[in-house]
Every structure is written in C-alpha cells, then in structure tokens.
Chain A
Amino acid sequence: MNRLEHDPLDPFFSPLREARLAVDVRASVRARIAALPAGSARDEALPIVVGVAAQTLALGAVGVAALLAGAGAGAPAVVRACAILAGRAGEAADAMLRAAVTLAAALGRGAAAAIASLPAPSGAVTWNVLTLAAGLALAAVVVAAAAALTRDLSRPSPPWRTHA
C-alpha cells in the first residue's frame, strides 16, 4: 500500500507536505567531522562489538549464577539426586555446570543478536564499561559458587556413615 492518489486525506496534508525549510549545515558538519579522531567512520563499530561482547558475558554470567544459585540454595535435593544418578557427586555438579554454561551462552547469543540489530547507540563506551564490570563481578560470583558447590558434593561421606 502506498500513498494513494485518491486517498481523501492526501489533499488534506498537501500544505504541510509542500512546506520547505532552507538549512545549510555543511560548514558545521565539516567542522564537527574534522574534530573527530581520525578514522571515526570506521571506529564506531568497535565500541558496539565490545558492547555486545561485554553484554554477552554479563548475561551469560547472570544465567550461570541464577542456575547455580537455584541448584545450590533453592533445590539441594535436585543436586543430590543428580549426584546419586551419576554415581559421583563431582561429575553431577560438573554436568550441571556445563548445562548451565550452554544455556547461558545461548541466552547471551540471543541477547547479542538483539543488541546487534539496534541502531548504533550513543554513549556506548560508558555502557560497555558498566556491563563489562557487571559481567566480571557476576563471573566471580559464579566461579565462587561453582567451586563451593563442587567441593561440597565431592566431599567423601564421613566414615561413620560408611560403616554404619
């Protein structure tokens, strides 16, 4: 559907459609471009790539942290069941961690695709630094949680239980 020749609204808009503004911003654009760092036409893509990478990392870390927190704190029975089924607690925790990382990576890829489809953002560098910091902080939490969980599950049963 295009603007229709016989659309009754068409003549209604014609006074505004025909209005013209005379502007000349060539000098100001030239001056502003000259003030940019060399190669800026290409450099704009870099912060976007960094931003997508940082946001992917942050989202991935959030996913892993959420899954581990849920498994470790909210549903210890699930972890124990996995450990029993796998035969060895360490393997079960490892399998869960791998599944969590896979899921988080998928979430991160989806988010990265969504972010990449947005128009070039302004202030991208600030946003990238913030998301990178958040991602690193969350990654640290994830590593700590994973280490604690694996150590707890891998701990051998006390001898009095074995001999009971």
Chain B
Amino acid sequence: MDADDDRSLILSVLSGRTEAFEPLVARYQGLVAGVGWKLGVPRAEIEDLVSDVFVKAYRSLEAYNPEFPFTSWLYRIAVNASLDVLRRGREARRTDELPDDLAAKAPGPGDELAMGRRAARLRSALATLPERDRVPLVLLYLESRTVAEIAAILRLSEGAVKTRLHRARARLEDVIRSRFSDLIEDTP
C-alpha cells in the first residue's frame, strides 16, 4: 500500500478517470469493514456501510488534502459512518423498546462465526463503552494507529486523545471486571 500510488489514483479520479477509484476500493474495503465491525456495526450491515463509505469518499474526494495519508481521511469517514449506523440502530431499538444494553451485548447472526468466542466477547465488552471511549481504543489497539494519527482522524489534540484513552482503559477495565470476567481468566 503506497501513499504515492493512492495520491496518483486520486488525481486520476479527479481528472475524470472514474475507473481509477476501483483500485482504492479494492485496497481499503477490508480496512473500512474492519473498523465498522470492531466499532460494533452488525455483520449484516457491513457491506452497506463499506459501500456508503466509498461513495461518500468519492463524492467528497475534492476535499481530500493530499498532504495527509488517504487512510487517515478514509478512517475519519469510516468512523463517522459507523457511528451513524450505530445511532440509527439505537433509535430503531428505542422504537422497538429493546434495552440498549441487551442489544449491545448480543452479537448479530454471523458475528460468532466470523470470529472466535473470545473476540466476540471482547467486541461485546467494547460495545458497552460510550462512543468517545470506544473509538480511540479501537483505533489504537485494534487498528494499530498512533496517537498522532488518531488525533488527525478524530480532529482532536494529541493531549485530548491521551486523556480519552486513559479514561477509556479505566472504563473498559471496570466493565470487564464486572461483566466479562471470563476474559481476564482466558487472557493469553
């Protein structure tokens, strides 16, 4: 994955070669799917999410600043789109009068098949955290982004990211101790 190659593809798209966008989709669709899924988007909605993210990216490609990596920009769109999906899901659950917490703890059909039980439990534990805690934890520990990258993706200062991470770790620890203690026993 070459940043220069990304830029040349983007310039081609902007100059009218629409087909140059497809290699970017092929290259990064797994990344976008992973972010959405780890943030808690149900497996059944991942394809729609990934498709939406790339169409949004295409439509606002002119706004992309090539001084920064394309992946950081794409992460920002993916995180925002994932949070939109999760909010819509919460609204739908409210309409159906199902408790948020119950729905958050239950992975959707196919989630257990797509990963091991431990990963599914960990994802459920993350899903109980507020968005502002969950997003930086996912980007740091599951997407291996640096604090500087997370700051750029979330448009926060590095100090603010570190503060959020500190608080998020403490909250996750509380959640795991109180409701997911099996994860501590199984830690490698």
Q: Which residues of A contact B (CB under 8 A)?
A: 1-3, 9-26, 28-30, 32-34, 36, 39-45, 48, 117, 119-120, 122
Contacts and interface: CB of A to CB of B under 8 A. Distances in A.
Contacts of B22: 26, 29-30
B59 A21 contact: no
Q: Which 9 A-B pairs have the closest CB atoms?
A: A120-B60, A15-B119, A19-B115, A13-B141, A21-B33, A16-B119, A44-B59, A2-B146, A23-B33
A19 B147 CA distance: 22
A16 B115 contact: yes
B95 interface: no
A8 B75 CA distance: 26
B47, B62, B155, most chain A CB atoms within 10 A: B62
Nearest to B173: A9
B70 interface: no
A45 B14 CA distance: 12
Interface of B is mostly: helix
Contacts of A24: 29
B114 interface: yes
A120 B59 contact: yes
Nearest to A10: B141
20 contacts: A13-B141, A13-B142, A15-B116, A16-B119, A16-B123, A20-B34, A21-B30, A21-B34, A21-B37, A26-B22, A28-B51, A29-B21, A29-B22, A29-B51, A33-B21, A34-B18, A48-B63, A119-B60, A119-B77, A120-B56
A32 B51 contact: yes
Interface string B33-68: 110011000010011001100111011111100000
Contact of B59 (A17, A20, A23, A40): A40
A121 to B, nearest CB: 10
B188 interface: yes
B98 interface: no
Contacts of A10: 141
A9 B43 CA distance: 25
B132 interface: no
B140 interface: yes
Given A23-B29, A41-B61, A117-B155, 16 more contacts: A12-B122, A13-B122, A15-B115, A15-B122, A16-B38, A20-B34, A21-B34, A21-B43, A23-B30, A25-B29, A29-B21, A29-B58, A41-B58, A41-B62, A45-B62, A119-B77
A141 B183 CA distance: 63
Contacts of B13: 41
A21 B46 contact: yes
Nearest to A32: B55
Contacts of A44: 59-63
B7 interface: no
A11, A24, A36, most chain B CB atoms within 10 A: A24
Contacts of B175: none
